[in-house]
Amino acid sequence: MEIILLAISEACLWAILAIGVYLMYKILDIADLSVEGVFPLGAAVCAIMLTNGVNPFLATFLSLMAGMLAGLLGSLLHTKLKIPALLTGILVMSGLYSINLRIMQKPNISLSNVTTVFSALENYISKEYVSLIVGIITLIIVITLLYLFYKTELGLAFIATGDNEVMAQANSINTDNMKIIGYMISNALVALSGALLSQYNGFADAQSGVGTIVIGLAAVIIGGVLVKKATFTKRLMLVVIGAIIYRLIISLALEMNIEATDLKLISAIILAVFLAAPNLKIAKKVKVI
């Protein structure tokens, strides 16, 4: 039971990143590889702030803002300099690796002896539930804000840009501005996830971003396989469920004494299975007909 609780707690924190990936990958149809640089950026900013005595909630918020700035940079490279999205992600990811090392001044920082969001709340919440409650509250805030954004004229223009960019432009929507907004929101969420997970794990590492795009995509794809047609809000909730299922599978793999070095391979296999599942169903139906 404790293992399941820990898996769900961690999944809630990863789900924040997954929602950011969902906005780019599913809504705007952009593969943003900068996630692997922005995630450790959030961790690096948060860690250096915490070790210098900054309030953990303020440090976490500043990490979110750092991610937003990284998103602004990536969006300008893509929309104004017309660099393809894939190359933009690679450029930002590569540049952020050096920036993250500059921020931390070393490859990793321990947070075991500093006050974090989780340790600050342990005086009010039972220790074994604090990470789960922080994750759930953060997700509720994120999903609520995105729902309210979706209901605005700007939010509808954002969705329209992803659905059909040419038609959106024909309706006088500045699609470049919508992409800039998407990059900024997405990267802010990724950095927020990095900041919270670094506090949860007790350290920040410049290499922590490796493979994060796979984790985000796995949550998005697993959630998408569960239900085909759903509203925007339900889609976000499905991403959270996808993240929980993914973490439970990984936790089960670890319980089976699978080597930690093989986790990336397992992640890739899980992603491949869920990507192939809808196609196998279609092929089976065609064969029956």
pLDDT tens figures, 228-273: 778 888 999 999 999 999 999 888 887 887 777 777 788 788 888 8
Q: What is the pLDDT of residues 21-35, one digit of tens each?
A: 999 999 999 989 999
With beta carbons less than 8 A apart as the criterion, state whether 183 and 74 touch.
yes
User: Rounded to an integer, what distance in angstroms lies between the CA atom of residue 192 and that of residue 163?
Assistant: 27
- Identify which of 240, 238, 245 has the alpha carbon closest to the alpha carbon of residue 224: 238
The CB density around residue 135, as the number of other CB atoms within 10 Å, is 25
CA atoms within 13 A on the CB side of 80: 8
Alpha carbon 81 to chain centroid, angstroms: 26
pLDDT at 41: 97
CA distances from 19 to 119, 168, 193, 223, 233 (A): 26, 23, 10, 11, 11
Residue recorded with tokens 């090392």:
101
CA–CA dist 208, 205 (Å, integer): 5
> How far is 279 from 269, CA to CA, in rounded Å?
16
The answer to whether residues 190 and 39 touch, using CB atoms and an 8 Å cutoff, is yes
pLDDT in single tens digits along all 289 residues of the chain: 678 888 899 999 999 999 999 999 999 999 899 999 999 999 999 999 999 999 999 999 999 999 999 999 999 999 999 999 999 999 999 999 999 999 999 999 999 889 999 999 988 887 778 999 999 999 999 999 999 999 999 999 999 999 999 999 999 999 999 999 999 999 999 999 999 999 999 999 999 988 899 889 989 998 888 777 788 889 999 999 999 999 998 888 878 877 777 777 887 888 888 778 766 655 555 454 5
